[in-house]
Amino acid sequence: MKTAIVNGQEISGEAVQFELDRLVRFYMGHGMTMEEVKKNLPKLQEKALEQAIGAKLLLDRAAQLELPVTAKDIDAEVAKVVEQVGGEENYRKALAAQGITEDAFRRELEKGARVNMLVGQACAHVADPTEDEVAAFYEAHKGEYVSEPKVLCQHILVKGSDDAALDKIKDIRERIVSGSADFADEAKKHSDCPSGVEGGSLGWFGPGMMVPEFDKAAFGMKKGEVSGIVSTQFGYHIIYKADERPGGQQTLVDVHDQIKDLLRHEARGRAMDAFVAELREKATIEYKDVKHECGCGHDHGHGHDCSCGHHH
């Protein structure tokens, strides 16, 4: 594993890990499986290190320029964080859990705000994509803009595979199909799934998002229908299909804003790559191999097993 020294300051392992976590979230959010992540981990680690170097150069440049950030600006950033974590109490707990004071956290937010201002300056010349560019991109990538069919379902789960569980789900289904009970009410009273509190609602989902038996039943039903009893590894289910959307080719109107955002993001990315490349040319960057320290407190080179039972 490598690290880097930028203008005499070593990039911390935490900074590289932060970038690696962001990369993994990004790629898994765009279809990469955990197995593929593991397979490509060395490349992702290299990319994370390069991104950490870029972040360090941006932070240093922003500090040199002394871009103006006011206490009011930081108050606004703190307010966003407080809202994200669910209130002032959770905010205080999060700071305590990370062992960081509020002053130290505000200083980190200030650094981030300065970098954001620097990014804004570096991308100020980047124009929004034109309508012709959006249309051309759509035509060139039309095959990628095909929506899959989706269904909107509620379900009731009774855990177990014994006769008692089967009898219970049969009784629930009988009450619903006979009209003597409402599906949502039965889900709230009897479902062993956390969705029961929401009347069994699973929201919209596409093919392959549920276990195969459930998936087959949900997509094979008609809208407004209550399923028979469906057995899965979780127990016995009954499903109500509230709505469905057919898959098919998405129009330019459907994906216009999505494409415009993508093209804007790519253009800003190219501008930032060029800006960071200029900073790199003026910087002194050295790479070095580092030993891995495991939780048992010993340093190990790569490929050694230590007494803590982990392979390094």
pLDDT of residue 275: 94
Residues 214 and 265 in one domain: no
Q: Please report whether residue 99 resides in a domain.
A: no
Q: Please report whether residue 115 resides in a domain.
A: no
Distinct helix (H) and strand (E) counts, the chain: 11, 11
Mean pLDDT by 10 residues, the chain (312 residues): 89 90 82 84 92 92 87 92 91 91 91 90 94 96 89 97 96 96 96 95 94 96 97 97 93 93 91 94 89 44 36 38
* CA separation for the pair 155, 195 (Å, rounded): 8
pLDDT of residue 31: 65
pLDDT of residue 309: 35
Q: Note down the domain range covering 241.
A: 146-248
Q: Please report whether residue 235 resides in a domain.
A: yes
Q: Please report whether residue 87 resides in a domain.
A: no
* CA separation for the pair 172, 182 (Å, rounded): 10
Residues 242 and 270 in one domain: no
Residues 150 and 238 in one domain: yes
- Where residue 216 sits, what CATH number does that domain have? 3.10.50.40
pLDDT of residue 291: 62
Domain total of the chain: 2
* CA separation for the pair 167, 309 (Å, rounded): 48
* CA separation for the pair 268, 2 (Å, rounded): 29
59 closest CA partner among 276, 215, 223: 276
- CA dihedral (265, 270, 271, 276) positive or negative: positive
Instruction: Give the global pTM.
Output: 0.59
Q: Please report whether residue 173 resides in a domain.
A: yes
Residues 243 and 263 in one domain: no
Residues 235 and 277 in one domain: no
